[in-house]
Each structure stands twice: as C-alpha cells, then as structure tokens.
Amino acid sequence: MTGGQIAALIFAILLLLPGGCFLILGIGLLSENDTDGPMLLLVGILILSGMGLLFWVAFRKRPPPAGTGPTSV
C-alpha cells in the first residue's frame, strides 16, 4: 500500500464513528417529529458516503506500471 492509501484508510476509519452517530440520531429523531431529524440524517449520509469513497481509494487495485505486465508475442 502507498502512503496515500494508508492515509485514506485511516481517515475512513475515523469518519465511521461520527457518520454512524449522526445517522442513528437522525433516524431516532425522525420518529419523534423533530425538525432536526432530516438534517442529521442527511449529514450522516454525507459523512458515510465520504467514508465509502475513502475506503474505495484505500483498497482499489492500481494498474501496474507500463512495461511490467504480461506481453503477447
């Protein structure tokens, strides 16, 4: 793994807790007819989608450098 992939993995793990808390709190407040529920739900979804993007960056397969792959003769 490269340094950027490791950093993306660390930031994704750090975003997991606040995103999950916002999501659960937003779902809980939706059932109580509170006006803050939809906003908290939206913030949680945005944080978790950013976390998903960072996980994708951390675990994607990078193409091999030119000239090192299999060649057809």
Predicted confidence (pLDDT) per residue in 10-46, tens digit: 999 999 999 999 999 999 888 888 788 899 999 999 9
- pLDDT of 49 reads 96
Q: Is the pLDDT of residue 66 over 60?
A: yes
What is the Cα–Cα distance from 22 to 9, expressed in whole angstroms? 20
- pLDDT of 1 reads 75
What is the Cα–Cα distance from 32 to 16, expressed in whole angstroms? 25
- pLDDT of 33 reads 81
Q: Is the pLDDT of residue 72 over 70?
A: no
What is the Cα–Cα distance from 23 to 38, expressed in whole angstroms? 10
